[in-house]
Structure 1
Amino acid sequence: MPQPAVTVLMPVHNGERYLKEAIESILAQNFVDFEFLVIDDGSTDRSHQIAGSYGDPRIVLVANAENRGTVHVLNQGIALASGRYIARMDADDISLPDRLERQVRFMDEHPEVGVSGTGMRLIKNGKLRNIRTHAASDPELKIQLLFSPCFFHPTVIIRAELAKAQPYPGNLVYTQDYNYWTKLAPLTSFANLREVLLHFREHEGQISARKADMQVSNSRTLRADYLKRLISVASDEQLAIHHAIAENRTDINLPDAESWLRHLMEINRQTGVFSNEEFEREMSRRWWHCCKNNRKHGKKVAELYASSPLCRYYRPDFSKYLKFKLRHLIPL
């Protein structure tokens, strides 16, 4: 049997509610040269029966006798995958029909890129909601990792050769994607397609809802470790400011946040760890979000924002900026 271009890797554990829709979104892809590796991780509901009810020969169904956890299943799937690329899929999401076609074409045309993702649109309470995208270029994505994951995990496609040589780390569970991207960042180039190729479902049963506290704690550990690539030593107070910025907190001390972001810019100018132009833009964008999300400074927020040199490098959407100024009653 010839090697397929793509292995679509989908772990499932007690996912019967949305599984049929997820599977059929892959079977309906315009791109047909794939194997669909579905790993049932010890489900006790009808997940196995649903996945096994299809007669499509591209489906490869593997059943684990007991629940081993997401990281184990992802690495199990990577070891079993026979495709040149491995595309992630979750059992409660929907891939749009041209997802694989667009992603495979992009990876074929950009051999330097080891991992890429796409934009996505949220499904909440059964309805399509807002669109979410990440930055597109490698320098921007590596800088974004200083604050948060740079891919939407279910949208990712990765070169199988890279994944097999560098499987998911087994530590810091519930943040396996952030952990993985920080591990791969020095090893390959990243990219994102800005177009929406997946609908991501939000619901109470997700790990992100059930393990939120652990996710926050583990993300802080990863963030602090990745930050060391730019700044070797950061105090507890500095890390607290950095985490507050990354988490989009609404109780940020804005002068402290501005001082920290300017400090990071100065260090990057000296060390050249990241592309300076992209780094300045990202610090400026973070400053905008700090001010936009924080109201405790009252009418002074817009003044604080505009008086900082940080506002030079990123321009928010005009309608959002207008709303921001009107909210704080600052004359235009």
Structure 2
Amino acid sequence: MSTPAITVLMPVHNAEEHIREAIESILVQTFTDFELLIVDDGSTDSTRDIVRSYNDPRIKLVKNTKNRGTVHVLNQGIELARGKYIARMDADDISLPQRLEKQFAFMERNPSIGISGTAMRLIKKGKLKNTRKQPCTNEELKIQLLFGTCFFHPTVILRTDLAKTHPYPDNLVYTQDYNYWTNLADKTQFANLDETLLHFRTHQTQISHTKAGLQISNARTIRTAYLQKLFGHCSDKEIDIHHQLAENKDNIDLEETKAWIEKLIKLNNKSNTFLSTIFINEMAKKWWFICRKNSGSGKKALKTYHSSYLHTLYHPEKKKYLKFLLKCYIAQQFNRQK
């Protein structure tokens, strides 16, 4: 049996509603040297029957008698993967036809990159909506990890030898991707393609809806560990501000947030963890986004935004800045009338 170039790893559980679309989006790929490894995690619906209905030797179905959870299934798939690369795929998403071809070519051209992902477009109630993107370069992505995940999990491709050496951590469930990327950050280079190669389906049964509280709590644990690994001990107050910044809260203390972001820049300059010019630019973006989010505090938000030198380092689109101005003034009038 020949070894495929890519193992497409698809964990499934009670996925009968959309799995046909997911499977067929892989079978029609322009890149054909793959195996589609479907690990069924104890489904009780017709998922397995649907998978068996395809007469394609590239499809490999593994059946678990009990539901053991996503991390277990992912690591089970990694153990069984035969391809040089592992491409992730979920049972309710759609890979665009050139996804594997473009990701394979990118990884072959860039042997130092261990993991890469792509942009994705959302599917909501059966209709295509907005496009989501992450940063593209290694430095930007590892800075992004200070605040949250840096890849869209179903879009990633990674080197199989890396995955077999470093499988998914089995703690902190429902945040296994964020946990994984922070664990791998010092072991390999990251990248993203600035191209939409997957359509991601959103629905109310996703973990982000059903386990939101635990997901937030676990993300905070991961974020704190990564932050302190890079920059040393931080006070409880600083960590709390950092979490609020990462979660894009709309009731944050902007003066405290400004002080924390500017301190982060100093810590990075001292440690040389990230290239200074890139880090400060990313922090300037964060400063703009959090001030815009807090326009409800009126002119105070506008004044505080301009009180930091960071506002001179990142220039938002004129239309977005004018909208920010308008919201601040409207909020100021509203707050006066309370």
Please report the TM-score for the alignment, with normalisation by the length of structure 1: 0.97
SS in 1 for 2:97: coil
The aligned runs of 1:266-281 (5 Å cut-off) are 266-281=266-281
Contact 2:295/2:302 (8 A) holds in 1: no
Cα distance between partner residues in 2 of 1:164 and 1:148: 24
Alignment partners' CA distance in 1, 2:287 and 2:2: 51
- Please give the secondary structure, in 1, of the residue aligned with 2:74: helix
**Quick one: which amino acid aligns to residue 159 of structure 1?**
R
2:79: which partner in 1? Answer: 79
CA distance in 2, matches of 1:41, 1:9: 13
Q: Distance in 1 between matches of 2:313 and 2:61?
A: 50
Letter in 2 for 1:15: A
The aligned counterpart of 1:116 is 116
Q: 1:283 — aligned with what?
A: 283
Matched, 1:208 2:208: yes
Which residue in 1 is equivalent to 2:306? 306
CA distance in 2: counterparts of 1:228 and 1:216, whole angstroms:
18
SS of residue paired to 2:231: coil
CA distance in 1, matches of 2:161, 2:133: 27
- Report the counterpart of residue 28 of structure 1 in structure 2: 28
Identity %: 58
Contact 1:230 1:267 survives alignment (8 Å): no
Distance in 1 between the 2:275 and 2:186 partners? Answer: 14
Distance 1:292 1:104 in 2: 39
**Aligned residues of 2:6 and 2:33 also touching (Cα < 8 A):** yes
C-alpha deviation, 1:228, in angstroms: 1.0
Deviation at 1:53, TM superposition (A): 0.7
Structure 2, unpaired ranges of 5+: 331-338
Moved over 4 A (4+): none
Q: Deviations over 1:30-88 (max 9, x none)?
A: 11000000011000011111111100110001110110100000000000000000000
CA contact (8 A) 2:296 2:327 kept: no
1:181 paired with 2:159, answer: no
Q: Secondary structure at the match of 1:230?
A: helix
Name the counterpart of 2:250: 250
The one-character-per-residue Cα deviations of 1:119-161 (angstroms, maximum 9, x if unpaired) are 0011111111111100000000011101100000000000001
- Partners of 1:36 and 1:62 in 2: CA distance: 11
Q: How many residue pairs get matched? A: 330
Please state whether the residue corresponding to 2:31 is helix, strand or coil: coil
Task: Tell me the distance in 2 between the aligned counterparts of 1:44 and 1:81.
Answer: 25
CA RMSD of aligned residues (A): 1.0
Measure the CA separation in 1 of the matches of 2:239 and 2:268: 17
TM-score (normalizing by structure 2)? 0.96
User: 1:320: which partner in 2?
Assistant: 320
Give the aligned partner of residue 64 of structure 1: 64
> 3-state DSSP class of the match of 1:219?
helix
Instruction: Extract unaligned runs of 5+ from structure 1.
Output: none
Q: Is the 8 A contact 2:298 2:327 kept in 1?
A: no
Aligned to 1:136: 136
Q: Partners in 2 of 1:132 and 1:275 — Cα distance?
A: 26
Distance (Å, rounded) in 2 between the aligned partners of 1:313 and 1:145: 21
How many angstroms does 1:314 deviate by? 1.9
Could you list the per-position Cα deviations for residues 247-268 of structure 1 after superposition, in whole angstroms to 9, with x for gaps in the alignment? Answer: 0111111101111000000111
Contact 2:12–2:91 under 8 Å retained in 1: yes
